[in-house]
Structure 1
Amino acid sequence: MELRHEVFAASNWDPAACGAGVDVRVENRVVTLTGQVSSPAVRHAVECAAQRVQGIGSLVNALTVQSGSEKLRGEAGRN
């Protein structure tokens, strides 16, 4: 549980990764990042932030990047 919180804290500290829709699962020191992010740059930033956390055995980046049409649908729903 502590490792999960540290990964969240690391990504919230990084302005490029902060606010990304990411879930973190940890099992036997294997950290898995899941969720959908807005761009490949955000995906990479979240991964880099997680890699800075000490105590991780390995990291699985299962984040997906929203397509342009998904972004437009999401923005239309907010209006």
Structure 2
Amino acid sequence: MAIVVQLDRLLLDRRMSLTELSDRVGVTIANLSVLKTGKARAVRFSTLDALCRELNCQPGELMVQAPGPQPGGEQGEG
């Protein structure tokens, strides 16, 4: 299973640009782009809280678990 960030969909639904979100949450556009493209390896709770506050969403709307391999070819323990 892989975690998928649905930032594009939320931005589109809210008619908000990545630049506007960056200004509102105090996270650089570069860091938001890493998150948006699924290349982020971690997210601080403070960042997640700020994103959810500005996008008026719950964490489960921003990130979902989807079938498929994990990024980087990592395998879960089992």
Q: TM-score, normalised by structure 1?
A: 0.36
Q: Which has the higher strand share?
A: 1
Q: Which has the higher helix share?
A: 2
Higher normalized contact order (CA 8 Å, seq sep 6+, divided by chain length):
2
Q: TM-score, normalised by structure 2?
A: 0.36
